[in-house]
Amino acid sequence: MKILFCGDLVGRAGRDVVLEQLPTLRTEMGLDFVVVNAENAAHGFGLTQKICEELFEAGADAITTGNHVWDQREIIPFIDADPRVLRPLNYTSGTPGRGSSVVKARDGRTVLVVNLMCRLFMELLDDPFVAIDGVLRSHVLGKSVDAVLIDVHGEATSEKVALGHVCDGRASLVVGTHTHIPTADAQVLPGGTAYQTDAGMCGDYDSVIGMQKETAVAKFRAKVVTERLAPARGPASLCGVYVETDDASGLAIRVAPLVLGGRLLPAWPSFLPPREGVPK
């Protein structure tokens, strides 16, 4: 399978770049499955049913979230009803929605999508290591599902790396979100799981992790909240991770970061046909 994961989508700038690029990328890259983390899509805080529907229309197959999932309260009935939209798996029992879901690709193959949240420097949810072990025992890669994609939403790189190794050999891709900065460690782990510590964000990088820099800097300097943080509105980068899997085992064959548009240096998988204007 050919799979694309798009990192945290921040505000209108992030929405626009994903909605613009994704239909073309599905064709150009021959994508079989696309996941988008959209927890910051609604003016930087949470997401709405309308945004989810726009992303599905553009080519997303599943949507993950994180610690901002409940910022727009209207999402609660929708996330409870649509299995393609996930909240973190390790919320306590009884929380609306679901943290994992088996979603069908357009060709009928099955993909287990898991949304996991870390605990270091974040909200103390249930143990993510215990939670992911339970899901991966129930859904075996290459047997009950064709691919397993795990979004690890967390602050600490060490915790994300540890979860990557715990899932190695049992998942197609483990990719981090939340810090909004793409890391340079895309690799296939020894057991065959593709991994990157953070996919980065889809948003304007002339900012403080997607938010207008003047307000964010003033908050750090003065420690006084004078106005609400708002997403930066300049040209956005689409940041994500592309992975190809073996059809028989579901394990990764190769993985590469993807960066298009905006201020960041572009990145395109070297093993794919070149894209005009994007150096290999």
- Catalogue the active-site residues: 68
Distance CA 83, CA 136 (A): 18
Q: CB of 111 within 8 A of CB of 149? A: yes
Distance CA 237, CA 209 (A): 12
Q: Among residues 80, 24, 18, 23, which one has the least CA distance to residue 49?
A: 80
What's the token pair of residue 270?
């070297």
Amino acid identity for residue 126 in this structure: D
Distance CA 35, CA 171 (A): 15
Q: Among residues 178, 278, 199, which one has the least CA distance to residue 243?
A: 199
Residues with Cβ within 8 Å of residue 20, at least 6 apart in sequence: none
Q: Among residues 97, 101, 98, which one has the least CA distance to residue 75?
A: 97
